[in-house]
Chain A
Amino acid sequence: MSQAKNSSALSYEGCKNFRMRIVLSTLSGKVVKIRKFRGRNDDPGVDESEASFLRLMDKLTNGTRIEVNETGTSVTYVPGLLAGGQLEHHCSKKRGVGYYLEPVLMLAPFCKKPLHLTLHGVTNSEVDPSVDQLKHSCLPVLRCYLLLADEQLQLKIVRRGMAPGGGGQVLFSCPVQRTLRATQWLDAGKVKRIRGVAHAARVSPAMAGRMVDAAKAVLLRLLPDVYIYTDHYKGDAAGKSPGFGISLVAETTTGCTLTSDVTSRPQGSDGPPSVPEALGTEAAERLLDEIYRGGCVDSLAQSTMLLYMCLGQKDISKVKLGQLTPYTIEFLRHVRDAFLTTFRIENVLPTEEEEDLKLGGEKLTLTCLGAGFSNLSKTVS
């Protein structure tokens, strides 16, 4: 027994891909051991944001054992079962809420009780995907899998908190699901409209308008249906630091969404302050970049999508994606470690009809046979 246990442990090195290792370990029930956690760094060991993440995992699960050695350079994670329920967590301000929300999005459908999570921290940061972006890129993926629980799934920004000070608040609730059905998502469709939100907190409301104008200037050349809301926060809802940003979503005829997001440089950081026009233009350009890559989900949601495909029943799932991001590539490797699932990757060859259409970059089809995962935490009666 013990021998079988040992061999199933996953061992890794380094702090890279920390979150996905923890997430996959939790889902697969395999022990994960990470050594050399910033072993050679001036500031070795688990940092504040990772510690906060581990604490969040502890709240989210029941029976998890986390062992971090004295220097913090080795972490052993013995997963428990996902519990869910009403939770509140104060995230580290070093990373955005997106850093925590992303793994939670992967785990949420497999809890024992529906998850109602309140996260406090930085809603928009430069490094991590903003909450708006997650809402428009990952949530549709979730919604596609949680067929009947549309209204229970929500991600709401109660307060916005910009980078150094934080003070944002995000509400995420998600129903639970027993098993996932295999999906074939091969038609990305054409972009039919572009929506977005330009937000400004503790700065002049004009900033939002300036960003919108700049973004629209780029986008309107390709599509007339562009509408970007402006959202100005003040007082308590604006968090503790000033800042602004813009997040864009392109919706396609088949309901796929592609997103981009840009946030202003945080207050007090080195470098020149951000200019709203530049941000607006950059967001639009990044959206076009994302459209060029194409696929049924955007580059942010790739890993979530692939995870759900892998967790499906023992059936074939397929998805059309654009270029894989480095994160996705790492994710695929980790998925193989945890679930023994290998994806088949194929180039999408344009059909005769499509040959002379300009549909952006090369697309890939990823196919896998589900691992037959079922939510072991959910109570049945």
Chain B
Amino acid sequence: MGGEDFPDDKKRHTKRAAGRKADKKKQKEPHKQELTAKQRNPKAFAFRSAVSAARTLRRSQDIKERKTHIPVIDRTPLEPPPIVIGVVGPPKVGKSTLVQCLIKNFTRKTLTNIQGPVTIVSAKKRRLTFIECNNDINCMIDLAKVVDLVLLLVDASFGFEMETFEFLNICQVHGFPRVMGVLTHLDMFKDTKKMRKTKKTLKNRFWTDVYPGAKLFYLSGMVHGDYQRMEVHNLGRFISVMKFRPLTWKQAHPYILADRMEDLTGAEAVRQNPKCDRTISLYGYVRGVPLRQDTPIHIPGAGDFRVSSVDFLPDPCPLPDRATKSRRSLTERDKSMYAPMSGVGGIVYDKDAVYIELGGSHSHRGKPTDTAAAEPPRDGEHQEGAEEEEEEDEDQQLVSSLMTSQHTIDQKMEEAQLQVFSGQQPISSQDAAMKLHYETVAGEDGRSRRRVLFDDTGEVGEDSEGDGDGDGDEDEEEDGDEEAENSEGEVEEDSDDEAMEDSEEEDADMSLNNPAAKPASNGLSNGSPGGSGEEDEDSSEDEEGDAALTATAVAPRQNARQLHKLIYGTDPGSAGAASDAAAEQEEQEPEVGGLFRVVRAEQRDRSGRDETDRSLPEPDGRHLSRWQTDEGRACIADCFVTGEWKESENASALLALDEDGMDEDDELDGDFEDMETGEKHEAAPPEPADSDAEEQMPVKKEDEQMTRKQLLEKKKKLKAMFDAEYDDKEGSSFYDDLKRDLDQQAQLNRSEFDGLEDELRVQFEGYRPGMYVRLEVASVPCELVTNFDPTIPLIVGGLTTGEENIGYVQARVKRHRWYKRTLKTRDPLIVSLGWRRFQTLPLYSVQDHNGRNRLLKYTPDHLHCTAHFWGPITPQGTGLLALQSVSDVSASFRVAATGTVLDLDKSVQVVKKLKLVGTPNKVMKKTAFIQGMFTSVLEAAKFEGALCRTVSGVRGQIKKALTAKPAGLVRCTFEDHIKLSDIVFVRTWYPMEVARLYAPVTSLLLPPADKARWQGMKTVGQLKRERDIRVQPDPDQLYTPVERRPRQSRPLQVPASLQRQLPYADRAKLGVGNVLAGPGQQHERVAVVLQPREQKVMKMMKTLRATYDVQQQKRRGLAQDRAKKMVDKRKADIERFEKRQKRVRKHVYKMLALNSGKKSGGGGGGGGGGGGGG
């Protein structure tokens, strides 16, 4: 920005256009073509093919379109909250070191023990909150929902770990924050080539998960346990300039990353019951959207609560003053840091207390002599340089002045004086106290009541006494109203509820001083006494008092402020009114017979709470006649197009202007002249404001001139609008229009309440993002306080309308492809949805073509299915993440499923297929009696008319349930004759119920050691495995091996008659051979008689084999001998060796003993030598 303000005022070099030098140049350089090729020869560049041209265009349009995003309204406020930077990664990758280095980089301070979020000022308009995420999946999920930027640390020497991918998946589901990868441990690589390769592979993998081109930072090495300064500095600069796209969830919900928590419960209550519910206060910057008072919140890991009060506090880590504009960089003093959980931040102002951190017991004694070398954790605030000593002194003085003060604060307050108006007596606290006395009066119901008494005016006492007789004791508080009641004749008694009492007593004098106080336009407010009682002077003075003019008629002026008070002051119909029930009962009514009370007519409808519910007020005809008169019509004359128009919209004026515009020269001259006349009268204006009677003319002229100028501008604008509408420019697409509209809206959002006081602003807007607030939350489980661990992020997530309710959620889910197991219907699953983490029992289903949700037993592979579960109502389209357990750190991937919410309802329609099976009892032609399908007539009667089917596909219908035996017999007709052995089915759909389990994961309430070990409901499988329960299956349903006997066909029997006709060859033979071949017979052995030559060969072979066998046997024997010898030799060797060893050892021990004997204990050297020898 700064650079643009100062134009480069160096004189630029201008080339000679003529002269000697120019000629020379011209000669030197050949003539250059000014026209481009396309201009010179347009034909060559014409389309050669319409198809390719179309393709080119399509492609270019594609690329252009891909760049566009749906425009969103940027709701970041002018002074945004610090950017949350989560440092995430598996253990031992250097997260803490990085946070320390970054903090040191930005603030020049060293924080050794970081706990919880650390907020620092990093630039003139940017603050950062660093938070480290430990290796707990609960923390990872919670943090992913609130961080704006993630520094994802990866140990490069090891590679990616499952945690990294788990976290990326969590991020994808809950809206992707900015992710910047940081590779550490790069110094572990000895080989640079290997390092380069690893970097590249890691980068590519990272890009596939984040987006191509995502920034991956390299931290190459360590210097004295820190990362290299320049690298950290560069990383810091990247962080400082990073831009963020608003995320849907964060743009719709307020949230706070609490950086401090205090327990406000009374010590006594805790002492009596250490387990009592606590009241805590949480501190932090509001983020997202404005946080409203009384908004329901969810603290992930603890549960749903309601904020009992919100206050905004001064910013503990403010952005540097805007006044010092000239400086570009931060001064040392602006580099503040705020980390209360880590013990940084000197003085903390609370709503009702101021905490001052004293740097040890001796800090107040005097100035520390060596500020520069002060211990960082002791007084982190006061570590600036020598030039900031004065400031430091201020702080010290503040503390020491408190210490040296002679009087108590009460005393001082008494002496203090306040001057409200100049020239008035200052009011001291005694004055205020003087005026207010009270006496205690015992009320009729035994309640002691404090009546206000004024000693100087005496008004109240008289007033109350005067009226007290009529209406009983109830009227004393609202004397202000009394007058009004008297004048208006409207009885207003209901406002005196007990809740209001105390406050009303206090401002009773205020309303009394205000004689005009009366209900504002009671025609408008049918019974809203509270608001009227509290009006102050200015609201009442412009009340016109025309009581006759009611709302239906030409109503009195509704002053906005007055209206606001009227509407939002107090409302008799709501909360406050609860207690006037009691008051009503107390009133003494005339009794009938001591039992019944007579209902008076006016009593029935005093508050107007039982008035007719009508949206239009009752018409009042009295004032309508006004519109028949001329003056009546005159006052709305210009509401019609026929009436007068504004100068800027007046057609005749605009036409006249047009004519002026025609001859511009004249216009200019005229203007000039006008200016002259204007100048002539210019001398007058300084004094004229009061003496405008004579000066009216010139002023008017000037006005005319002004309006003319304005009109010209207006005309230009109109022209531009016309052009924009009718000239087909490329800039005016739907997309651009939408973007412009949203920009305008964003501008309005920022500017609408700007400049309003914060106290007022929060009323309209809520606590806007960027404010530092203190939330008070009541009835929090004590474990949240007792088991508080600052390293675990404590998030307060605001819930919008309807989100505090519970209902059936329908979500589209897909089992994660890296998750090893399938998910089973009705198995407990931990779901992270919206702010919440909870365990629930989902049913999985798939939608059939007719829209029916059919139950699935298991999640399908690589397919989406629908999950129905009982859970918090969360807007549709919200991401959802499911885990089976948050406690086990398994080696595999933990994210079980991901999905989005589709629908929310108070009932579910999931059905399960149920086949009723029966068998025919008796089959007629097409009618069959089916048994075994139903158990009773009643049951069967329900299914009359149902369609059924046999296994073979014959369709039929159940006609009638029969009373005959067996019970549940039905008569069916089929389209064809069925067999008795058929099985008949009826296909039915059975509605399933979703189990109503919603168990928030209360990981924050667990003791620190168990924080990551939350155990919810276990799956049936888990329980069975743990307790070693095995299901005894129904033996019918077991698969048994099918035993099939080999088929034995009967012997072929050819009838004798047929035999006889066959030719002989084909006829069965019943001779001897056949008989022998039969199964019962044995073949007789046949003697083999050898020829002499054969005998010779046989003999030869026999001898050869015998000789070979003998040879082999001999050889084997020799080998065995050799082996045995070898073994013996070896054994002897070992024996010998051992013997020698023994001897040597003996010798050594002897020597050792000798040596130790010689120099008692000094035989170390000898011993060492001996050992070496052994």
User: A-side interface residues toward B, CB under 8 Å?
Assistant: 1, 3-5, 7-8, 10-19, 27-29, 35-41, 50, 62-63, 80-81, 99, 102, 112, 127-129, 178, 182, 184, 190-192, 218, 221-224, 253, 281-282, 284-286, 288-289, 291-294, 299-300, 303, 313-316, 318, 323-327, 329-330, 332-334, 336-340, 342-347, 351, 353-354, 357-362, 364, 367-369, 371-374, 376-381
How distant is B651 from chain A, measured CB to nearest CB, in Å?
A: 12
Which of the residues B563, B581, B763 comes within 8 Å of A364, measured between beta carbons?
A: B563
Docked pose: A1 CA to B1000 CA in angstroms: 10
Residues of A near B639 (CB, < 8 A) are 190-191, 291-292, 294, 358-360
Residues of B near A359 (CB, < 8 A) are 636, 638-639
Which of the residues B305, B551, B573, B903 comes within 8 Å of A16, measured between beta carbons?
A: B573
Residues of A near B292 (CB, < 8 A) are 340
Which of the residues A4, A38, A112, A323 comes within 8 Å of B296, measured between beta carbons?
A: A4
Evaluate contact between B607 and A14: CB separation under 8 angstroms. Answer: yes
Docked pose: A5 CA to B766 CA in angstroms: 22
B1040 in the interface (beta carbon within 8 A):
no
Evaluate contact between A325 and B551: CB separation under 8 angstroms. Answer: yes
A372 in contact with B252 given A128-B614, A313-B73, A323-B551 (CB within 8 Å): yes
Residues of A near B610 (CB, < 8 A) are 14-16, 36-41
Evaluate contact between A347 and B752: CB separation under 8 angstroms. Answer: no
How distant is B546 from chain A, measured CB to nearest CB, in Å?
A: 13
B526 in the interface (beta carbon within 8 A):
yes
B104-112, B554-562, B1147-1155: which lies at the interface:
B554-562
Which of the residues B573, B628, B642, B643 comes within 8 Å of A224, measured between beta carbons?
A: B642
Residues of A near B559 (CB, < 8 A) are 347
How distant is B116 from chain A, measured CB to nearest CB, in Å?
A: 26
- What are 7 A-to-B residue pairs whose CB atoms are below 8 Å? A8-B296, A127-B614, A318-B752, A326-B523, A329-B566, A374-B252, A380-B903
B338-346, B361-369, B802-810, B1030-1038: which lies at the interface:
B802-810
Evaluate contact between B877 and A380: CB separation under 8 angstroms. Answer: yes
Residues of A near B599 (CB, < 8 A) are 40
Docked pose: A141 CA to B255 CA in angstroms: 33
Evaluate contact between A369 and B764: CB separation under 8 angstroms. Answer: yes
Evaluate contact between B306 and A323: CB separation under 8 angstroms. Answer: no
Kindly report which residue of chain A lies nearest to residue B623, judged by CB atoms.
A289
Evaluate contact between B902 and A381: CB separation under 8 angstroms. Answer: yes
Residues of B near A351 (CB, < 8 A) are 646
Q: Which of B68-119 contact A (CB under 8 A)?
A: 73, 75
B62 in the interface (beta carbon within 8 A):
no
Q: Which of B792-810 contact A (CB under 8 A)?
A: 800-802, 804-805, 807
B648 in the interface (beta carbon within 8 A):
yes
Q: Which of B550-596 contact A (CB under 8 A)?
A: 551-555, 557-561, 563-564, 566-568, 571, 573-575, 577-578, 581
B904 in the interface (beta carbon within 8 A):
yes
Give me the 4 closest cross-chain CB pairs, A-B, nearest first: A63-B906, A14-B609, A29-B802, A285-B624
B888 in the interface (beta carbon within 8 A):
no
B330 in the interface (beta carbon within 8 A):
no
A7 in contact with B873 given A285-B625, A327-B615 (CB within 8 Å): no
Which of the residues A36, A364, A379 comes within 8 Å of B903, measured between beta carbons?
A: A379
Docked pose: A287 CA to B560 CA in angstroms: 24
Docked pose: A284 CA to B558 CA in angstroms: 24
B758 in the interface (beta carbon within 8 A):
no
Evaluate contact between B567 and A291: CB separation under 8 angstroms. Answer: no
Residues of A near B624 (CB, < 8 A) are 282, 285-286, 289
Evaluate contact between B289 and A11: CB separation under 8 angstroms. Answer: no
Residues of A near B903 (CB, < 8 A) are 112, 379-380
Residues of A near B581 (CB, < 8 A) are 13, 35-36
Residues of A near B295 (CB, < 8 A) are 340
Kindly report which residue of chain A lies nearest to residue B575, judged by CB atoms.
A11
How distant is B833 from chain A, measured CB to nearest CB, in Å?
A: 14
Evaluate contact between A339 and B641: CB separation under 8 angstroms. Answer: no
A222 in contact with B640 given A36-B581, A314-B252 (CB within 8 Å): yes
Kindly report which residue of chain A lies nearest to residue B707, judged by CB atoms.
A353
Evaluate contact between B644 and A333: CB separation under 8 angstroms. Answer: no
Q: Which of B210-241 contact A (CB under 8 A)?
A: none
Docked pose: A37 CA to B560 CA in angstroms: 32
Kindly report which residue of chain A lies nearest to residue B900, judged by CB atoms.
A380
Docked pose: A371 CA to B112 CA in angstroms: 43
Evaluate contact between A12 and B573: CB separation under 8 angstroms. Answer: yes
Evaluate contact between B615 and A8: CB separation under 8 angstroms. Answer: no
Which of the residues A35, A129, A333 comes within 8 Å of B616, measured between beta carbons?
A: A129
Docked pose: A221 CA to B630 CA in angstroms: 10
How distant is B803 from chain A, measured CB to nearest CB, in Å?
A: 8
B608 in the interface (beta carbon within 8 A):
yes
Evaluate contact between B764 and A367: CB separation under 8 angstroms. Answer: yes
Evaluate contact between B752 and A300: CB separation under 8 angstroms. Answer: no
Kindly report which residue of chain A lies nearest to residue B251, judged by CB atoms.
A314
B635 in the interface (beta carbon within 8 A):
yes
Docked pose: A192 CA to B560 CA in angstroms: 29
Which of the residues A36, A284, A313, A361 comes within 8 Å of B554, measured between beta carbons?
A: A361
Docked pose: A361 CA to B616 CA in angstroms: 18
Residues of A near B561 (CB, < 8 A) are 345
Evaluate contact between B764 and A377: CB separation under 8 angstroms. Answer: no
Which of the residues A8, A299, A336 comes within 8 Å of B568, measured between beta carbons?
A: A336
Kindly report which residue of chain A lies nearest to residue B741, judged by CB atoms.
A181
What 19 additional pairs, Cβ within 8 angstroms, besides A8-B296, A16-B573, A314-B252?
A: A1-B303, A14-B573, A15-B611, A29-B802, A35-B581, A81-B905, A190-B643, A299-B617, A323-B558, A324-B558, A325-B524, A326-B523, A338-B801, A345-B561, A357-B643, A361-B557, A376-B875, A376-B904, A379-B876
Which of the residues B252, B306, B621, B638 comes within 8 Å of A7, measured between beta carbons?
A: B306
Docked pose: A7 CA to B252 CA in angstroms: 23
Residues of A near B635 (CB, < 8 A) are 292, 358, 360
B304 in the interface (beta carbon within 8 A):
yes
A222 in contact with B558 given A14-B609, A333-B573, A333-B574 (CB within 8 Å): no
B294 in the interface (beta carbon within 8 A):
yes
Residues of B near A336 (CB, < 8 A) are 568
Residues of A near B877 (CB, < 8 A) are 380
Docked pose: A184 CA to B746 CA in angstroms: 13
Evaluate contact between B304 and A1: CB separation under 8 angstroms. Answer: yes
How distant is A144 from chain B, measured CB to nearest CB, in Å?
A: 14
Residues of B near A338 (CB, < 8 A) are 801
Evaluate contact between A340 and B293: CB separation under 8 angstroms. Answer: yes
Kindly report which residue of chain A lies nearest to residue B644, judged by CB atoms.
A357
Q: Which of B604-659 contact A (CB under 8 A)?
A: 604-605, 607-617, 619, 621, 623-625, 627-628, 632-648
Kindly report which residue of chain A lies nearest to residue B1000, judged by CB atoms.
A1
Residues of B near A299 (CB, < 8 A) are 616-617
B765 in the interface (beta carbon within 8 A):
yes
Docked pose: A211 CA to B640 CA in angstroms: 23
How distant is B93 from chain A, measured CB to nearest CB, in Å?
A: 38
Residues of A near B526 (CB, < 8 A) are 326
Residues of A near B804 (CB, < 8 A) are 4-5, 8, 29
Docked pose: A39 CA to B528 CA in angstroms: 20
Residues of B near A347 (CB, < 8 A) are 558-560
B786 in the interface (beta carbon within 8 A):
no
Residues of A near B764 (CB, < 8 A) are 342-344, 367-369
How distant is A262 from chain B, measured CB to nearest CB, in Å?
A: 8
How distant is A311 from chain B, measured CB to nearest CB, in Å?
A: 9
